[in-house]
Amino acid sequence: MLKPGSTIGILGGGQLGRMIALAAAPLGLKTHIYCPDRDSPAFQVSDAHTCAAYDDGAALDRFAAGVDVVTYEFENVPLATAERLAARVPVRPGAKALAITQDRLAEKSFVRDLGIGTAPFAAVDDLAGLEAAVATIGLPAVLKTRRFGYDGKGQVTIRPGDDLSAAWAAIGRQPAILEGFIAFQREVSIIAARRADDAFAAYDVTENVHRNHILHRSTVPAAIQAEAAREARGIACRIASALDYVGVMAVELFVTHLQGRDTVIVNEIAPRVHNSGHWTQDGAVTSQFEQHVRAIAGWPLGDARRLGRAEMVNLIGDDVEQWLSLLAEPGAHLHLYGKDEARPGRKMGHVNRLWLDDAAARACAEE
């Protein structure tokens, strides 16, 4: 268990690392950010930073010597980096969560082997494999690279009549999976925390709307049936236990509605704090960032109850120019990431809106 005054090392210096660092400070914890990008937003709010490559062994060893625990803000941390650090200092969540979530085939197989629903999927290693996968799974389907896909990058939807070799070329002819296309009713996620001793806490299910493959808006509570929400919570709990997970994670789910009943299936696991959990900063008793810090420090998990109805809207590219009017809006909480240049598609900040609702908080407590 960490003592106040300890230092958390964070791999990755983007907005998630920044918000973890901001949440650590009120708990008397220091942060040291490790990131190769010179203008990392997290550097601005941390006690120390190392600007070095993820394969710089000497820099990693110095970093490990100066921190009490290491965590990360993105799942594409090279495994060799995590393993080198883990030989010197606890890395939380551990290498297992990274290894599985970095590879869509390993991730989907892991979820299916737990008896949890996913889209039908098949491994694709070459064009002949794609043809075979299409024959089994059918069309439409989504072809995704096994590794390094995010925000819709590295994936293409294949419809009946489409040229398979063009789809294979579009994802760069690299190891992939083909997933059956799910005509989902909505997309939701569940953000949950687990400690090493199996203590578990989940936030209410969040409903997510994407634009151009990037999260646009999250709202909570999600408009799904209570039974499906309970199922989502159970899924997160089983995944976290099976991964020996320590920290906050997100499970992204598709909701389908068949014969009057909502059903959830898993799309993706994120072994980190998640954009769809940003509402918790202003809409829950404990934010996902504080919760992550508590979990990796080995401290008691915080209260995950929701304070009311909440929404989070991302400020992408030029959206950030609304900052002044958002500041003037009653009930709105503005969060800016300290990035200089508002390039198209770049996440510059977000706004949380909260409608306090005693009844919602009570119902959540009684559940």
Q: Which residues of 47-86 are buried (b: 16+ CB within 10 A; e: fewer)?
A: eebbebebeeeebbeebbeebbbbbbbbbebeeebbebbb
Residue from 119, 178, 235, 364 in contact with ligand AMP (CB under 6 A): 119
Residues with Cβ < 8 Å from 142, sequence gap 6 or more?
A: 119, 155, 156, 157, 158, 178, 179, 180, 181
Beta-carbon neighbour count of residue 175 at 10 Å?
Answer: 16
For residue 63, CA distances in Å to 15, 68, 77 come to: 20, 10, 15
Part in contact with ligand AMP (CB under 6 A); list of ranges 147-155, 216-224, 299-307, 313-321: 147-155
For residue 172, CA distances in Å to 153, 179, 273 come to: 11, 17, 29
Part in contact with ligand AMP (CB under 6 A); list of ranges 177-185, 281-289, 303-311, 323-331: 177-185
Q: Are 123 and 144 in contact (CB under 8 A)?
A: no
Give the residue with the Cβ less far from ligand AMP, 216 or 346. 216
Cα–Cα distance, 353 to 39 (Å, whole number): 29
Closest to 193 measured CA to CA, from 289, 63, 295: 295
Q: Is 189 in the site for ligand AMP (CB under 6 A)?
A: no
Closest separation between CB of residue 12 and ligand AMP, Å? 18
Residue from 142, 192, 246, 249 in contact with ligand AMP (CB under 6 A): 142
Closest separation between CB of residue 226 and ligand AMP, Å? 24
- The radius of gyration of the chain from alpha carbons, rounded to an integer in Å, stands at 20
Q: Is 182 in the site for ligand AMP (CB under 6 A)?
A: yes
Residue from 268, 282, 290, 311 in contact with ligand AMP (CB under 6 A): 268
Closest separation between CB of residue 180 and ligand AMP, Å? 6
Site string for ligand AMP, 204-243 (x = CB under 6 A): ------x--x------------------------------
Site string for ligand AMP, 16-55 (x = CB under 6 A): ----------------------------------------
The answer to whether the Cα torsion of 95, 98, 103, 107 is positive or negative is positive
Q: Is 107 in the site for ligand AMP (CB under 6 A)?
A: no
Binding site for ligand AMP (CB under 6 A): 119, 142, 149, 152, 155, 179, 181-182, 187, 210, 213, 252, 267-268
